Structure 1
Amino acid sequence: MLELIANNFVLRLVLSVLLFALVIGLVVVVGNMLAHRRARLARLEEIETPTRVAGMTGGTIRSQQNDGAWARLAAAVEKAGLDLSDTRQERLSNWLRSAGYTSPAAPRIFTLIRLILIFLVPLTYLAVDYWTGEPPSFLRAYIVCAILAVLGLYLPNLFVQAKVDRRREEIRQGFPDCLELLIVCVESGLGLEAAMDRVGREMVRSHPRIAELLSLTTLQLRAGSSRDEAFRKLGQAADIEEVRSFTTLLIQSDKLGTSVTQTLRVYAEEMRERRRLRAEERAHRLPVLISIPLVVCMLPTMIGVLMLPAVIRLIRDVIPMMFSGG
């Protein structure tokens, strides 16, 4: 059979066409399966997003499973006798909460990761060094491992602080838009709680951080918390001066009985002015920031281009004349 196919051109052509059709069919089937899977996952994510903002502040199901795995690992380490608690536990919890890590086990997980990196980074360096070349000397290995251990100790701090700064900047940039929507909702006849709930649901995609804060505040109000307590927790959760000032204004307006609409309007104008001033400040910083690469990169080139003809003339004419005259 194989000899017949090998000697017959028509059979080889038919077999090639059949194999090509089979491969194309498999590619199409697999592609359709992957496309349907991606569509289902996207649909599930769209359904999950409002639920996560309303109450699941810990993230998606996969991130919750990862957090649970880390929490179980931290609990096992503590059960083995190693204490992962920090001397400034409350401060560390607030800092991690500002970065978006709201799990109660976040401080212990953070401490565990720091301990792991203290040993993991130097061991990785030693393994790579032993694998790629000659073993390093004891003094070199000691100094480099000590530096890498300190680096591994502070890398989680830098990562969390970057997330804190990014989260604060997102809230700061989107908060004026939130105030504008609150003004529209309050002026249309909604109460403050209903307006915050509506704005939180509307800003899920544009500003998810602010939507999460407003949704949590709404849930606290519905659970029976007083306005003072809920608004103070909102300021603490946001951890930026603009939101804390806003919650203080709401508390004072609620106690004194003044118009909430007027309070929101005045503060929204102030927030717009602050955002404009921040944009102007960044624009005025651009010439200073641009001057650094100009001086470092372009100035030596310009000096070289201007001085090169004179240097060539000096080497060709002036120096030979000086030596010939001597």
Structure 2
Amino acid sequence: MVDIKLIFLVFGLFISLSVAYYSLKVFDKTKANISTKKIIDSTQEKTPFTDKLTVQLSRLSFNKEETKNNLVRAGIHSDFIAQAYYLLKIIPLVFCLAFIGYFYLQGYLEFLSAFVAFLISLLVCLIVPDMYISSKGNANIRHVSSRLPFLLDLMNVCVHTGMTLEASLDYLSNELKTVDENLAYVVKKTSERAKIVGLDRALAEFYDLVPTTEAQSFVMTLTQSLKYGSSVGAVLASLASDIREINMLNLEEKIGKMGAKMSIPMIAFIMVPIVVLIAAPGIMRMLG
């Protein structure tokens, strides 16, 4: 018992020293930045408190690009959450471990119960958020991919009114906010990148945001149309029709698989009780 208590005490001391070290490190950097600004007498406008807090949190985060991309795919576009994502997971875990260690040292929990609580804390604080964000991101990708025919129809209307593809993307990025926020965000990102790196590169990055076969067809078709100068309106209309047919075929395939999937619950919940009802009278007579 004494050895286990010592292990918890050493573990708590290690966590406390680590938190204190990183806190002092951040404090020193912040103090140095403030001193530098005072020396050069900066005349820049005051930044909001949230921006300052985001800058401070960025020093405590890692895997920034990957985390931000995963959150964006899940529909979370806040820079503050992206910078504080790991802190939002680690801080509750530290509190849970502190409570578990306290209750164990006080004798309210046995070692097995404390170990199970420790594993549950790790699961809830570290693994469950990543699983939720991953599943939400995959769901959003499928949703945006299913809305591509709608986007293509709107782009076709804009092109027929005399707008270019860049202008139509810029216009639709604002109009789609009231209809579909995730689709509007992807279109807005594509429009912003098209102004900087060109439409070809922006379309390639569109596929990075929505990595599906429908998005790949969308990107390749528009790229080929821009490269060889074919009619964009006809291409958009035919592509929207093709993607709708693909979605319909996928839906029919899922419906076809539904019968095989329903056979297992039918056997478990229908056939087994019927067998019991048929065999029960004979068994009762034999026992009687």
**TM-score normalised by length of structure 1:** 0.62
1:158 paired residue number? 131
Give the alignment of 1:156-195 within 5 angstroms. Answer: 156-195=129-168
Structure with higher Rg: it is: 1
C-alpha RMSD of the superposition: 3.3
- Matches for 1:1-326 after TM superposition, within 5 Å: 68=50, 72=53, 75=56, 78=59, 83-86=60-63, 89-121=64-96, 135-221=108-194, 223-316=195-288
CA distance in 2: counterparts of 1:68 and 1:278, whole angstroms: 45
Give the aligned residue type for 1:84. Answer: S
Q: By how many angstroms is 1:113 displaced? A: 2.1
Displacement of 1:250: 1.8
Partner of 2:32: none
Q: Distance in 2 between matches of 1:305 and 1:167?
A: 47
Q: What is the DSSP-based 3-state SS (H/G/I as helix, E as strand, rest coil) of the residue aligned with 1:276?
A: helix
Describe the superposition over 1:92-134 as per-residue Cα deviations: whole angstroms up to 9, x where unpaired: 332222223344454432211221243345567789x89xxx8
More deviation, 239-248/283-292:
239-248
* Distance in 2, Cα, partners of 1:115 & 1:291: 44
Supply the distance in 2 between the matched residues of 1:166 and 1:310 (Cα, whole angstroms).
52
2:4 aligns to what? Answer: none
- Residues paired across the two proteins, number: 239
Moved more, 159-168 or 105-114: 105-114
**8 Å contact kept, 2:156–2:237:** yes
Gaps of 5+ in 2: 1-47
Q: Deviations over 1:272-317 (max 9, x none)?
A: 121011111221122233223222322332222111211222122x
Whole-Å Cα distance in 1 between the matches of residues 192 and 77 of structure 2? Answer: 16
**Aligned residues of 1:170 and 1:207 also touching (Cα < 8 A):** no
Equivalent residue for 2:45?
none
8 A Cα contact 1:98 1:239, kept in partner: no
Q: CA deviation at 1:147?
A: 4.2
The aligned residue for residue 23 of structure 2 is none
In 1, Cα distance between equivalents of 2:263 and 2:164: 52
- Between the aligned partners of 2:139 and 2:157, the Cα distance in structure 1 is 28
Other structure's SS at 1:136 match: coil
User: C-alpha deviations, 1:237-290, integer Å up to 9, x for none?
Assistant: 334342243223322321222221232233222211210111112211222332
Amino acid at match of 1:186: V
Distance in 1 between residues matched to 2:114 and 2:54, nearest whole Å: 30
Structure 1's unaligned 5+ residue stretches are: 1-64, 317-326
Percent identity of paired positions between Structure 1 and Structure 2: 23
Contact preservation (8 Å) 1:110, 1:156: no
